[in-house]
Amino acid sequence: MAERRCVATGRRDEAAHMLRFVVGPDNRIVPDVGRELPGRGLWIGADRHAIARAMKKNLFARAAKVAVTVEPDLADQVEALLARRCLELLGLARRAGKAVAGFEPVRAALGTGRVKVLITAADAAAGAAAKLRSQAGTAIPVELFTVRELSLALGRENVVHAAVNRGPLAERFAAEVTRLAGFRSPARQPNGVGRE
C-alpha cells in the first residue's frame, strides 16, 4: 500500500498503519477506518495524540482547504471503531477455526508454533498471562481487550486468553491491533476482576 503523509506531524508512513478521514456532506470530519468512503482522504498517524494535535491546531480544515466541524470525542469514536473492527476479525477467525480460547487450548496452540497473535485480557490476573507469554515465541502479544469484549467476540463466557493462528485473518487482525494500540493501552482499560 502507498505511503501517506500525516496532516498532524508531517511524517510519512504506509497507509495501512494510518487512519483515513474524509469530509462528510455536512463538512464534518468522518473517520474512515476501513479506507472505503468516497472523497479525498485526510491521513493521520494511528495515535490519539496525533488526532488531538490536528484538532487543536485546526489541521483538518487546513488539509481539507475548507471549514470543517470536528467532534470533540473524535479520538474516542476512532478507538471504538477500531476495537469493533478487531473484535469482528477475532470472531471471524474463531468461526474459521483459526482462533482458540481458554488457557489450556491456547497453551497447546502455542506449542505448535503456528500462533501469530497471543491475546490476554487487559483485566486478567498477571500470573497466567506471564506463563503464556513465556511460551509465546514469535507470537505478537496483545493486551488491549477486556474479558467482556473477548467473551462477546468469541461467543464464550469469561475469555481471558485467546490465540489466532497464522494466516490472512491473523495478518489483518495484527494490523488492526497495531492501529488500535495508539488509542488503547492496558493502563486505559477498565479495572476488572483479575482471573487466572
Q: Give the C-alpha separation, 16 to 179, whole Å.
A: 9
pLDDT tens digits, 9-51: 999 999 989 999 999 999 999 999 999 999 999 999 999 999 9
Q: What is the mean pLDDT of residues 160-173?
A: 96
Domains of the chain: 3-72 (3.30.1230.10), 80-188 (3.30.1330.30)
pLDDT tens digits, 94-122: 999 999 999 999 999 999 999 999 999 99
Instruction: Using DSSP, state whether 58 is helix, strand or coil.
Output: coil
User: What number of other Cβ atoms are within 10 A of residue 6's Cβ?
Assistant: 22
Kindly indicate the confidence band of residue 189, based on its pLDDT and cuts at 50, 70 and 90: very low
pLDDT tens digits, 49-79: 999 999 999 999 999 999 999 999 999 999 9
pLDDT given at position 194 = 33
Instruction: Using DSSP, state whether 84 is helix, strand or coil.
Output: helix
Residue 90 has pLDDT above 70, yes or no: yes
Kindly indicate the confidence band of residue 6, based on its pLDDT and cuts at 50, 70 and 90: very high
Residues in the chain: 196
pTM: 0.88
φ, ψ of residue 63 in degrees (nearest 5)? -70, -35
Residue 140 has pLDDT above 70, yes or no: yes
Q: Give the C-alpha separation, 115 to 105, whole Å.
A: 12
